[in-house]
A and B are shown apart, each in its own frame.
Chain A
């Protein structure tokens, strides 16, 4: 790709000299389509993902409405299967992951004192590929072929013999396209964070959210190849008649069952080698967000910063070694199950450390329960419930009762809603002033929080009981004699209230965008660099590149005399906790920092280099979309030489090549 031409640390080859970027009005539809500004891309991610969050929510309400009565026929079983498949797929790939991306995009360059990400056009490309991946999945509804095999798509139910329609193709190719977006974005953020930090911001001075973004991006780069391979093999099975996941086929001619050598468990291993790190891809950004919010509203630095960093890294590392706990009931035998039970339980340790460190951050503070703080505290408390139930089915014999029951549904909603969504809402309230220049209304915010908190527990806590009473997952109906209706009704009522809570939130956003209090640079008495610049930030973010001498640079500036306290303790913890000296050698000496400061001051804001808008990322992404679309709708076909290609795929490949060439040949100004 064109990006190889770009030396890391610079904005990219296509630069311009902006006279005064702040006064240059850059508005209108096309400016958003061609934008390469990380803040606008962040907002595009946020808006698109929120729309999908609402769609996924509506899908959830259909599920809950179906289950409110036994033998209900609000939707057919086939439609119900589509709804729960799309609810899971939408929430994971189209809502929570891109909502995290929205925060990565908007906040990370601001937190590390950079003017943009390392590869701004690659960043735009990631967004557009995500957009088209979402479009492929959404188009399935219009084709009346929404995926119907579960978000985890266990083979051989996904094979042509058992799923003849396009449903699975929409899903497999939609996820492939989304994977391209995720990997491109993650490489971009790894490179940005490693190379573009302000002078003086050592790794151990990075804000926790920057740390979790870095680690999440590494997780994505390492985990997504597994599902890419899994989906490619599945597509070979479906399109080319291979049998990677098929042990038997039926030979119509001889009326015999014939062995084909494939194995359904191959899919499960590949999928969960991706799938379990994916859980941490969804939750680690959330941990980062609350690690920013809790110190600010406690007016105290994060308790045990170094341990929090190590805990995050440990969770990510162990996350690759626990996938078999999704397969405890597949009959792998007691020895593999014992090993993976142990690694699964081990992962509770760093997670528990995080919970206690957050609470200790609050201990002795001056807690200001604003809406972001309420959501963050709720995360700490509710995640404990999801963590505990996670340890329960970490034990294989117990899991043989809990697996695929509503107990598991309760567990992961406590983790994903009580964890990820609570943190994303907290982050929205916290950074909304930075996005928009206005505060979200606090009174409405508190209503929003308490309704969400109550509704969340009314919806999901009863699912524990449903699980114990034997309600399996992915059941579109249950019998009258099963004694399950009571808790289903409670849960459904809770889900309607949860839907209502999002109306409060949207009303708050709509009202606050018009009439919200002006935010100023630093409405929350923040500690990190994003609060040193105007809200919303100018295109170039920092007029002068900041120099960082402390982990909480803005607090150091505002409260130098308090920051002195306990600083030595911080350093010792940082340098000795792992038994090796970390940090010391990396802290630049004062001379270097002063030099950097002089350079930054001389670097007058008339001379800021910003990347030009570009439509090539969109063109390239469109090529990816068309190529995938042609594999789903494989007619009409055109013969090219010996090849017989689907028309759309051929066209897509041409557009893709044109996009890449246009991108790399784009003039520098």
Chain B
């Protein structure tokens, strides 16, 4: 490059290492940030760089490939820029103009072809992975229907209710470990997107379409998910959990949910609506409790798209972990807060059209929260056993 090289044959080593240091520092920031993002996975339930299924591990290995290639490109290009900027700074003693180079055909062809080759390295495994995922979804044997609502999730298990009926629950997707699961996603209102970062990538939930996710849950546990397509006021408060449990626990939950009991038992354990507080009558306009006479509310595609008259199914509510699609932990204190003013906890939600601050008096709130928490099997919730198992696992890992 002509004159410059003759003047200044080798740049001062101090400056070269300065450039090197700047870029190294940048690259290290990236890596340290990633490590920070990855560590403490337990406290970051939505982190997708801590995969917990074969699907997300595949994505992660693809991401790692791209990440390391990207890091090499990043460091290389930044070093080129910083080095050029430092080496060819004007010193103020130039008398001549630098060599007027207009281009270099060979170099330009090279840096057209090399990136194209690098991209091919990414593209091929990308396409392979995509077709694998698609096949996974086709092979899914355990079908769960998920409906996006404003702003909660309805979960349906075709064939799991008595008489080959559909078991309906909300905001918790329970799946048996080790089975190939196929989630069928649909909506009759606005678009949502279903994402449990540690188990599978996003899939949009689009009115008029049925999208599928195939995945195989492995380790029992609770995994967190959220809506990732903007769906209106409370989009940020539309969370869910995926509860993976061993087959027998899952079966126990299904049985409890269907409230199987001796035919002679006159009184259902989940609480008959006849036993419910009078105020619960208002809830029945939108909510259902299975195996009671309280099944008026609409469900699935048949429900009102404008989210009126269709709220989450409340069967076994006492066993749920959260209130309001992951907004509050399910306990008596929070339930009181919710019933006092649901709109204050979760802005825009449709329950707040009916229940405002002062609609229910303290006595009614007390009765209702007691009743709702009593909606569980007499023998206790099936997951109590799982929680004990979890605690043991944690001790083991710790």
Shortest Cβ distance from residue A48 to the other chain B in the assembled complex, whole angstroms: 29
A469 touches B90 (CB 8 A): no
24 contacts between A and B (CB under 8 A): A154-B230, A161-B306, A246-B207, A247-B188, A248-B188, A248-B208, A304-B102, A304-B103, A305-B103, A338-B127, A341-B123, A346-B119, A353-B111, A353-B112, A355-B77, A359-B81, A360-B104, A360-B107, A362-B88, A391-B119, A397-B126, A464-B33, A484-B44, A562-B96
Shortest Cβ distance from residue B111 to the other chain A in the assembled complex, whole angstroms: 5
Closest to B308 in A: A250
B100 touches A264 (CB 8 A): no
A388–B77 Cα distance when bound, in Å, is 11
Q: A359-B84, A573-B105 are in contact. Are A396 and B130 (CB under 8 A)?
A: yes
Contacts of B201 on A, CB cut-off 8 Å? Answer: 329, 397, 399-401, 403
Contacts of A346 on B, CB cut-off 8 Å? Answer: 116, 119
A353 touches B108 (CB 8 A): yes
Shortest Cβ distance from residue B286 to the other chain A in the assembled complex, whole angstroms: 14
B274: interface (CB < 8 Å) = no
A516: interface (CB < 8 Å) = no
A257 touches B37 (CB 8 A): no
Q: A377-B81, A400-B201, A476-B236 are in contact. Are A366 and B104 (CB under 8 A)?
A: no
Shortest Cβ distance from residue A561 to the other chain B in the assembled complex, whole angstroms: 9
A401 touches B305 (CB 8 A): no
A42–B108 Cα distance when bound, in Å, is 36
B389: interface (CB < 8 Å) = no
Closest to A404 in B: B228
Closest to A73 in B: B347
Closest to B306 in A: A161
A385–B115 Cα distance when bound, in Å, is 15
Please pick, from A150, A398, A484, A565, the residue contacting B59 in the complex, using a CB distance under 8 A. Answer: A398
Contacts of A388 on B, CB cut-off 8 Å? Answer: 70, 73-74
Shortest Cβ distance from residue A465 to the other chain B in the assembled complex, whole angstroms: 5
A483–B330 Cα distance when bound, in Å, is 21
- How many A-B Cβ pairs are below 8 Å? 329
Task: Identify the A interface with B (CB < 8 A).
Answer: 76-78, 81, 149-150, 154, 156-157, 161-162, 246-250, 255-257, 262-265, 298-301, 303-307, 329-331, 333-334, 337-338, 341-342, 345-346, 348-350, 352-353, 355-357, 359-360, 362-369, 377, 380-381, 384-385, 388-389, 391-392, 395-401, 403-405, 461-462, 464-465, 468-479, 481-484, 559, 562-563, 565-567, 569-570, 573, 577
B102 touches A365 (CB 8 A): no
Please pick, from A247, A470, A477, the residue contacting B197 in the complex, using a CB distance under 8 A. Answer: A470
Closest to B99 in A: A364
Q: A298-B88, A482-B46, A483-B44 are in contact. Are A400 and B119 (CB under 8 A)?
A: no
Shortest Cβ distance from residue A586 to the other chain B in the assembled complex, whole angstroms: 18
Contacts of B227 on A, CB cut-off 8 Å? Answer: 472
A257–B134 Cα distance when bound, in Å, is 31
A249–B304 Cα distance when bound, in Å, is 8
Contacts of B103 on A, CB cut-off 8 Å? Answer: 303-307, 357, 569-570, 573
Q: A304-B108, A469-B44, A569-B103 are in contact. Are A248 and B59 (CB under 8 A)?
A: no
Q: How many B residues face the partner with a CB closer than 8 A?
A: 105
A299 touches B97 (CB 8 A): yes
B276: interface (CB < 8 Å) = no
A404–B191 Cα distance when bound, in Å, is 13
B63 touches A392 (CB 8 A): yes
Contacts of B90 on A, CB cut-off 8 Å? Answer: 366-369
Which residues 83-127 in B have Cβ within 8 Å of A in the complex?
Answer: 84-85, 88-90, 94, 96-105, 107-108, 111-112, 115-116, 119, 122-123, 126-127
Q: A162-B189, A334-B133, A483-B43 are in contact. Are A468 and B34 (CB under 8 A)?
A: yes
Please pick, from B133, B189, B228, the residue contacting A472 in the complex, using a CB distance under 8 A. Answer: B228
A357–B49 Cα distance when bound, in Å, is 35
A368–B85 Cα distance when bound, in Å, is 10
Please pick, from A265, A357, A396, A398, the residue contacting B108 in the complex, using a CB distance under 8 A. Answer: A357
B190 touches A329 (CB 8 A): no
Shortest Cβ distance from residue A295 to the other chain B in the assembled complex, whole angstroms: 10
Shortest Cβ distance from residue B232 to the other chain A in the assembled complex, whole angstroms: 6
Contacts of B126 on A, CB cut-off 8 Å? Answer: 338, 341, 395-398
Q: A391-B122, A483-B40 are in contact. Are A331 and B209 (CB under 8 A)?
A: yes
Closest to B33 in A: A465
Please pick, from A356, A472, A482, the residue contacting B111 in the complex, using a CB distance under 8 A. Answer: A356
Please pick, from B77, B207, B236, the residue contacting A247 in the complex, using a CB distance under 8 A. Answer: B207
A161–B115 Cα distance when bound, in Å, is 48
A334 touches B134 (CB 8 A): yes
B306 touches A250 (CB 8 A): yes
B48 touches A401 (CB 8 A): yes
B366: interface (CB < 8 Å) = no
Contacts of A570 on B, CB cut-off 8 Å? Answer: 102-103
Contacts of B98 on A, CB cut-off 8 Å? Answer: 298-300, 364-366
Shortest Cβ distance from residue B39 to the other chain A in the assembled complex, whole angstroms: 10
A404 touches B48 (CB 8 A): no
A331 touches B235 (CB 8 A): no
A355–B111 Cα distance when bound, in Å, is 10
Contacts of B221 on A, CB cut-off 8 Å? Answer: none
